[in-house]
Amino acid sequence: MSGDAPSDRSSLFGLVSFRPRLTVVLIFLTLTVAVVGYHISRETGARKMEEMTREALRIFAAGKKERVKAAPRDPAEIETRIREWVGANVALPRDERLFSYKGVAREKVGKQKAAAVHLTFSEEPLLLLILRPDPLRGNDAPSAMFSEASFLSWEKDGTSFVFWERDGVHYFLVSGVDLTHTFDLVRQYFT
């Protein structure tokens, strides 16, 4: 009411024409979108890992009893199959006293192709899932959600799981023994 005409000037970020209410509302909306986006991305990673766990349990249970009595197979043959199906060069442990490879099967875990290697370590059945993310689809793998971790490990219903990545290939070991023992097995023989 001073009689001056309102200024039509504005500057970058509203430094000249500062509107506190609008600024507070915009800051609040920005923070809300950021928090909601963070929670959605977190839940997406958890859902992917839960789906992988469910599929791995299904494959592990289906092959557990029938594969234990199967004749051992040559690790080189299994590596060749993995290379054909998944496109990954994998070097499996070769200690015949400890490891016995019972078979390999082509599987699908979520949207990804996987090789399921059934093996035993000291007569204990294990399942090693090997997945290679599709480069055309982008990194649709769960490790993108957990990029700061070298390994993910957890237990569910008495079964141990260890997930890790090496050279762009994702590995997922399933075992019926203690999580500490399974994790040590991965660190000692697979990495």
pLDDT in tens, the chain (191 residues): 555 555 555 555 555 556 677 777 778 788 888 887 776 766 556 677 777 778 888 888 876 666 656 778 888 898 999 889 888 888 888 887 888 888 888 888 877 888 888 888 888 888 889 887 765 544 444 444 444 447 778 888 888 888 888 878 888 889 888 888 888 888 888 87
Q: Where are the domains of the chain?
A: 24-190
112-119 long-range contacts (CB < 8 A, ≥24 apart) are: 112/140, 112/141, 113/85, 113/86, 114/86, 115/81, 115/82, 115/85, 115/86, 116/59, 116/63, 117/78, 117/82, 117/92, 118/63, 118/67, 118/70
Selection from 41, 54, 52 nearest residue 170 by Cα: 52
The CATH code for residues 24-190 is: 3.30.200.100
Amino acid 143: pLDDT: 44
Show Cβ contacts of residue 32 under 8 Å, excluding neighbours closer than 6 positions.
Answer: none
Amino acid 153: pLDDT: 80
Show Cβ contacts of residue 175 under 8 Å, excluding neighbours closer than 6 positions.
Answer: 124, 125, 126, 127, 159, 160, 181, 182, 185
Hey, what amino acid is at 111? K
Within 10 A of 26 (CB to CB), how many other CB atoms are there? 12
User: Rounded to two decimals, what is the model's pTM?
Assistant: 0.67
Q: What is the DSSP string of 92-112?
A: ----TTTEEEEEEEEEEETTE
